[in-house]
Amino acid sequence: MDPEEQLEKLLEVFYDEKLDPKKEAAKQILGLATQQQNLEYLISHEQLLSTLSRTLRDEHKKSTELTLYLLCVFYILSNYLEFHQILSEHQIGDITMKIIESQIQRFDLRYAELMEKQGQPQQLQELRKLNLMIAKQEKLFYVGFTILMNMAEDPIIENKMRKRKIITFLLRMLERNNFYLLIVTLLFLKKLSIVNECKLQMVEENCIRKLKRFFSADNNVLLQLSLGLIKNLCFDSEARSQIEQNGFIPDIVKLLKIPNYRFVSIVLLYLLTLDDKLRLTFGFTECMTLVVKLMLHFPEPIIGKELIALATNLSTSSRNVDHITEQEFQQIVQRALTNGDTLLFRFIKGIIENSTNPEIQTCAKSFVRHFMKLLVTQGKEEDLKFEIIGIVSVIQLNENWVKLLTEPFIEFLHNNLALGMIDDDIVLETMMLVSQIASNSKAAEILFNNNILNALSQVFTEKVDDDEFIVQFLYCLHQFLFHKIGIPLILTQDDILLQMIQQLNDKNQKVKQMSQEVLDILREYDQELCEKIKETKFCEYNQLWVEHINEQEMMLQEGGDMAFEDEYGGNELDPKMWDSDND
């Protein structure tokens, strides 16, 4: 029979009140739709989609089988983007949402009935009915959610679905056991999680807790999809907190051992380490040990950005860094020196700065000359220079600095304190290095004799409005003055002294504190400076009173004394004004 004639006869059946003929007709139409050559005719037929959508809307509560056949027809059409507009015109998305909501309510009702009959003879029979209904529903849910996911390619339709509680419905599906339904559910949730409003709703409705089951299940597909969904949710701080509370971190760390999950696990762990509190949790896992092994065996000379970013975040916590052995640290440094890996040097700085293992500091000292040689000879690679300066500044060298302050290195310090020619970040990092060197009195004297303090003063003068530079200069200066070095030089620089005195009233507490500490040393050597400091502090502590006096002086200068004369008839007070009225 010709498909057109067959279709016309099938459509006539849908005007009959009996369900069985409709089921058979829907089944045959589905058969036509599975053949791609018929799709163009089916979609252009004037009555087909209207009839099918009307039947689906009116009779979906009467027969699950009929509903499934009709949804499968629309499922096939929804796989083609060019048909989405036609499906929207026939309100297929709206009808599908109503069907899903109705089926969920039906399940809740049947489950409540089962709970009421618990312990009764009818319980087994009710359980069989429930399981049969679940099996039918899961097929229907799979088709329905796939239709909605396909139509959600349009952001407007996707937003309408969100308002119609699509996320709540999807989260209910995570409780089901049908493999294919779980796949489409996780895919749909992952797609929606890109939208901020959807992501927040998922977090509020405890989506993360419901994903825990897939980490213990032996199913690679579901676990991979769950990791992708969690990764999207991880951009929210509350989601990261829920991941930690539900014990996901140890499970994700274990996945680093499995190549198929390694990359997504690294990205996910990196996002989790954005929170300072969560980094402490990693100290109770083998995360740092595994990350170090992955870095040491990385096939490329430059370690991947995701892996090194995770390692750098972990290195800010002593509990994590203490998992690194001296041998591993040595191998890391040698790899960085061989390959010139800038980000690996940043990781090395974190290890040295936060490790409580004295062997790490000892090992770092053995590489100091390599670092300094690289600093002097590496050329114009600003990022690499910045990281190595940071490493040298956190190594506790103390008296060893005296031997290391060679002429090329001192020239390097001068060159990197030249504002305008060098990036500000490098100048600031160099100032921190100078502070570290000046903590030793002999090394501070060498720096002073080579005019490093003059260079620092010049930086302070040019960056007087930058609090970060101010604090670092004052700390450097304090290191010199503590050893009684450079005091006469600073006392002759009136601009710097005046600025420090003014900073005693600065809003930045760190600037105020460091200015106070530096001036406390200088005031012992200059009585005039001491008086200026006293005057400034007096004005600070009595600010309201000083402002009131200044206002009075302004009034007198503007003729306020004339008003006084007018009121009392002159500048001299009448002695009788104090006499009692009774006298």
Identity (one letter) of the amino acid at 138?
E
Lowest mean pLDDT among 6-10, 135-139, 424-428, 480-484: 6-10
Query: Which pLDDT belongs to residue 69?
Result: 94
Q: What is the pLDDT of residues 109-134, one digit of tens each?
A: 988 888 888 877 778 888 888 899 99
Tell me the pLDDT of the chain averaged across its residues.
Answer: 88
Mean pLDDT value of segment 529-553: 65
Give the model's confidence band at 578: pLDDT under 50 very low, under 70 low, under 90 confident, else very high: very low
Percent of the chain with pLDDT over 70: 90
Q: Are 123 and 175 in contact (CB under 8 A)?
A: no
Q: What is the pLDDT of residues 332-386, one digit of tens each?
A: 999 999 999 999 999 999 999 999 999 999 999 999 999 998 888 766 688 899 9
Give the residue, 532 or 301, on which the prediction is more confident: 301
Residue 116 φ/ψ, nearest 5 degrees: -70, -30
CA distances from 407 to 290, 376, 410, 446, 450 (A): 42, 11, 5, 11, 9
Q: Where are the alpha helices (DSSP H) in 286-423?
A: 287-296, 305-314, 318-321, 326-339, 342-354, 358-365, 368-377, 382-394, 401-404, 407-415
Lowest mean pLDDT among 20-34, 76-90, 114-128, 229-243: 114-128
Mean pLDDT value of segment 214-225: 87
Identity (one letter) of the amino acid at 374?
L
Q: Under DSSP, is residue 245 helix (H, G, I), strand (E, B) or coil? A: helix
Calpha distance 418→563 (Å, rounded): 60
Lowest mean pLDDT among 17-21, 196-200, 477-481: 17-21
Calpha distance 341→374 (Å, rounded): 12
Query: Which pLDDT belongs to residue 120?
Result: 78
Lowest mean pLDDT among 298-312, 400-414, 527-541: 527-541
- pLDDT of residue 3 exceeding 80, the answer is no
Query: Which pLDDT belongs to residue 539?
Result: 59
Residue indicated by tokens 């105020």 = 512
Calpha distance 446→458 (Å, rounded): 19
Span between the terminal Cα atoms of the chain, in Å = 135
CA distances from 562 to 453, 571, 572, 575 (A): 57, 9, 13, 20
Residue indicated by tokens 């892996």 = 307
Query: Which pLDDT belongs to residue 218?
Result: 76
Q: Are 481 and 521 in contact (CB under 8 A)?
A: yes
Query: Which pLDDT belongs to residue 549?
Result: 66
Find the Cα–Cα–Cα–Cα dihedral 483, 486, 492, 498, rounded to 10°: -60
- pLDDT of residue 567 exceeding 80, the answer is no
Indicate the pTM of the whole model: 0.82
Query: Which pLDDT belongs to residue 559?
Result: 57
Query: Which pLDDT belongs to residue 458?
Result: 92
- pLDDT of residue 563 exceeding 60, the answer is no
